[in-house]
Structure 1
Amino acid sequence: MFQNRRTVFLFLCSIAFVQALYYIITLQIKRNQTIINSGLAISYEHSSDITKTSVQNTVALLNPSIQTELSSFANASFIISHNFIKPDPTIYNSYPICNVSFSNHNLSSTNHNLSSYRVTVSKTIYPFDIIEQHQGEDLYPGGHWFPKTCRTEQRLAIIICYRNRELHLKLYLDNIHSFLKQQQLDYTIFVVNQHGQQPFNRAALFNVGFLEAMKLYSFDCFIFHDVDLLPEDLRNVYKCGEKPRHMSVAVDKFNYRLLYSSLFGGVTAFSLSDFTGANGYPTVYWGWGGEDDDMYLRVTRKLKKTITRYPIEIARYKMIRTFNHTSGKANPDRHTILYSKYDYSQDGINTTNYDLHHVVFYKLFTFINVTLPQESFEHIRLRLNIKLKPPKKKVNVVRKKKV
């Protein structure tokens, strides 16, 4: 009798345990779904001249690290799965080519008020939901926009390297969307975040942005952009040419002058063929410095091209220098790598190594979150066959004593 009661008791406990477990799992799923639905609540009106591409990027819904990242940009609307949209060619090809009336020739013209091309840079930091009200009514998911009355000649991806600079990002997004729309561009903004504690690798993040962007849309122009630089002149058109272009020629921090002739940092523009021809950015510069000069050498040595620039009166930028941001530590090995004349085919797009955590389509931008496994200098040196210069011998100078 006692044994039967114990069996019944264990049976009832098992039922209670299963019901409790089911309740916990159901509650967790509902909680995750609530978070997801808050992002999916945005309504995007698609006009009849839009179709969807077949490429889809889906994020695992129940990954805790993903949920953390989704909530990292407070008040920012997002979706986690999206088919990138593009104009329907049957209708879009009948449109006239977008003819933006900005011209470098206006510099010497007395018939134009040059101040009308100057951009008033907003310095007010708004929450993401307010920025969406400013900029997002006609944006498609992921910070994608294209004109509805004319046909663009290029499809532009703006790629930003990023880590812990939310205030800069807010200022950037609130200013850049208005700027690009006035230039009548088919553009998408990508923010590539380096997760983890490894030294920042700006150039590798640019490569990641390129590789992930190409999975989503048929881009043919790429502008690699620091998040703290804002253009000040509408004639600084964000398009690619026959040669790579240095966009941020004149920055207010440097009194609107070019620091040196081979400067190729800040904001740069590459056509698809030029960027792949250069094998992208180097991946071997961990910490501050080296990657911009390396990219300049790739253009001149590997592509056998020169870089172009808009006139200094046009390629003007304001640098956001507030919020106590400090640059990372300088890479002590950057000069050794830079001047080693290593084979650029051995490092770049083809060696970009990263762990992709997720892609989230915020209304204002596409967020790409990755970890970059750090490579030691010794491993880099061996992989690229970089020869170290022997240390200089100390010369002992014997001084004669005065008699």
Structure 2
Amino acid sequence: GNSFVMDWMRKIAVVLLILLAVIGFTVVPATPRFDHVLEAPSSAPISVDKNRVSNQVAGQVSDHGSGQVSGQVSADLRKYSMLSCNRDVFSFKETSRNQMGDHNPRLPYVPYRIEEKPKHLLGIVVPYRQRWNHLIELREELGTFLRKHHIEYRFFVLNQSDEYRFNRGSLMNIGVLAASIYGCDYVALHDIDLVPLSDKINYGFPAEGAYHATPDGIHPSKKYPGYFGGVALMRISSYLRVNGFCNMYWGWGGEDSEFERRVSNATKKYSDFKVTRPPKIDKASEGMPFKHLGAESHSRDKRSRTINKYWRCEPGNGYSSVQYSCNRVYEENSLNDVIFIDTKLHCDKEITPTCDEDMVKTVKP
């Protein structure tokens, strides 16, 4: 009896020693600071064959009737995609601490796991440059809003890390491609400084066409008819039908109007392509439908507004032709709802000299 007990005790001791050895020698990768990526160009861009990916994504979402994206998209395209460039992990909470210091009372980290096979998956595409305060607030408050409405989602934050002026349209095009690769079947084209407040704003799977969530009367600061910026939701199939945003608009201004023209033309060309909007909201009795976090754009990005309106963008210039290099993708793990994509855009200065701040002064409307 004693020998039997001793044998079992020895076996248990061996197992415990093995477990301690495994735990003791496990290497936990250090969490990198993210501010050098958010605020400065990365050093080694990697060019990617985007057209190969784009054609395959288009093939997966060509069924305009259902808007469903094959569950095989993510698995099939990963090895070809721009997301095969350099990859790192990061902690959103640790990054926020690096950016803002320990005094920040709002270090957002919400454990969030996407269902293994959700019926629909929303990709929130957010063009970004040096607006960390807005990003953490958007991620926290919009995430809470979407979970309240039982909407499965991921954020795709497109960081423009080159020396050129901001190009919101090109970043949107790259973000929609990334959302496709991660298995999303619809996207929210989202300004970083807008947070929904009203339950009448619908982030659910839209009809074919476009759901403009922030038209005149809903957007907290834009007061003119025809405005088409802010937040718009589209099936990826709808986005491909209009070829996304024009890539010629550097600095702020013009890209939304050009996109509205594309959407409007599609409503005339396709009988199933419609533009829908939220119902009227009485701000006096129901409150503001959106919160505006305030503007922090760079002055150098504003100065081409009057120049941009003179560009004429061909229909072939858009999602299918965006030129960029993917430097690095930052994602944490399956619990993380934010994917950062650090990218450099390409610019032909003979065609669009306004990408270069020094050349803006020489361009006359």
Q: What is the TM-score when the length of structure 2 is the normalising length?
A: 0.64
Q: Which amino acid aligns with 1:335?
A: K
User: How big is the shift at 1:221?
Assistant: 1.1
User: How big is the shift at 1:238?
Assistant: 0.4
C-alpha separation in 1, matches of 2:136 and 2:213: 21
Helix, strand or coil for the counterpart of 1:264? coil
C-alpha separation in 2, matches of 1:357 and 1:367: 11
In structure 2, what is the equivalent of residue 281 of structure 1?
Answer: 245
Is the counterpart of residue 311 in structure 1 residue 279 in structure 2? yes
C-alpha separation in 2, matches of 1:52 and 1:241: 21
User: How big is the shift at 1:272?
Assistant: 1.8
Question: Residues 317 and 357 from structure 1, CA distance in 2 versus in 1: closer, same or farther, beyond 3 angstroms?
Answer: same
Question: Residues 302 and 251 from structure 1, CA distance in 2 versus in 1: closer, same or farther, beyond 3 angstroms?
Answer: closer
In structure 1, what is the equivalent of residue 324 of structure 2?
Answer: 354
Question: Residues 125 and 234 from structure 1, CA distance in 2 versus in 1: closer, same or farther, beyond 3 angstroms?
Answer: farther
Contact 1:152–1:184, Cα closer than 8 Å, also in 2: no
In structure 1, what is the equivalent of residue 210 of structure 2?
Answer: 244
Question: Residues 288 and 333 from structure 1, CA distance in 2 versus in 1: closer, same or farther, beyond 3 angstroms?
Answer: same
C-alpha separation in 1, matches of 2:168 and 2:208: 25
Contact 1:251–1:318, Cα closer than 8 Å, also in 2: no
Contact 2:176–2:236, Cα closer than 8 Å, also in 1: no
In structure 1, what is the equivalent of residue 182 of structure 2?
Answer: 216
Question: Residues 54 and 206 from structure 1, CA distance in 2 versus in 1: closer, same or farther, beyond 3 angstroms?
Answer: same
Helix, strand or coil for the counterpart of 2:209? coil
C-alpha separation in 2, matches of 1:294 and 1:163: 22
User: How big is the shift at 1:325?
Assistant: 4.7
C-alpha separation in 2, matches of 1:274 and 1:51: 20
Is the counterpart of residue 265 in structure 1 residue 229 in structure 2? yes
Question: What is the correspondence of 1:80-91 to structure 2 with a 5 Å cutoff?
Answer: none
Q: Unmatched 5+ residue regions in structure 1? A: 1-29, 40-49, 78-123, 382-390, 393-403
Q: Deviations over 1:168-201 (max 9, x none)?
A: 1111111011100111112111111100221000
Helix, strand or coil for the counterpart of 1:35? coil
Contact 1:358–1:369, Cα closer than 8 Å, also in 2: yes
Question: What is the correspondence of 1:126-275 to structure 2 with a 5 Å cutoff?
Answer: 126-127=105-106, 130-132=107-109, 135-136=110-111, 139-140=112-113, 145-146=114-115, 153-217=119-183, 219-239=184-204, 240-249=206-215, 250=217, 253-254=220-221, 259-275=223-239
C-alpha separation in 1, matches of 2:243 and 2:251: 21
Helix, strand or coil for the counterpart of 2:246? coil
Question: Residues 309 and 52 from structure 1, CA distance in 2 versus in 1: closer, same or farther, beyond 3 angstroms?
Answer: closer
Helix, strand or coil for the counterpart of 1:307? strand
User: How big is the shift at 1:306?
Assistant: 4.8
C-alpha separation in 2, matches of 1:167 and 1:197: 22
C-alpha separation in 1, matches of 2:31 and 2:108: 21
Question: Residues 252 and 210 from structure 1, CA distance in 2 versus in 1: closer, same or farther, beyond 3 angstroms?
Answer: closer
Q: What is the TM-score when the length of structure 1 is the normalising length?
A: 0.58
User: How big is the shift at 1:245?
Assistant: 1.4
C-alpha separation in 1, matches of 2:32 and 2:308: 46
In structure 2, what is the equivalent of residue 336 of structure 1?
Answer: 310
C-alpha separation in 1, matches of 2:219 and 2:260: 22
User: How big is the shift at 1:294?
Assistant: 0.3
Contact 2:326–2:344, Cα closer than 8 Å, also in 1: yes
In structure 1, what is the equivalent of residue 254 of structure 2?
Answer: 290
Question: Residues 76 and 232 from structure 1, CA distance in 2 versus in 1: closer, same or farther, beyond 3 angstroms?
Answer: same
In structure 2, what is the equivalent of residue 84 of structure 1?
Answer: none
Larger radius of gyration: 1
C-alpha separation in 1, matches of 2:86 and 2:126: 24
Paired-residue identity, %: 25
User: How big is the shift at 1:155?
Assistant: 2.0
Q: What is the root-mean-square deviation of aligned Cα atoms in Å?
A: 3.6
Contact 2:173–2:245, Cα closer than 8 Å, also in 1: yes
Paired residues, number: 267
C-alpha separation in 2, matches of 1:75 and 1:216: 24
In structure 1, what is the equivalent of residue 351 of structure 2?
Answer: 379
Question: Residues 379 and 268 from structure 1, CA distance in 2 versus in 1: closer, same or farther, beyond 3 angstroms?
Answer: same
Q: Which amino acid aligns with 1:343?
A: E
Q: Which amino acid aligns with 2:281?
A: E
C-alpha separation in 2, matches of 1:185 and 1:158: 12
Contact 1:359–1:368, Cα closer than 8 Å, also in 2: yes
Q: Unmatched 5+ residue regions in structure 2? A: 1-24, 35-70, 97-102, 283-287, 354-363
Aligned with residue 75 of structure 1, among 94, 103, 107: 94
Q: Which amino acid aligns with 2:339?
A: T
Question: Residues 220 and 175 from structure 1, CA distance in 2 versus in 1: closer, same or farther, beyond 3 angstroms?
Answer: same
Q: Deviations over 1:277-302 (max 9, x none)?
A: 00011111000100000000001124
C-alpha separation in 1, matches of 2:105 and 2:298: 22
C-alpha separation in 2, matches of 1:181 and 1:246: 21
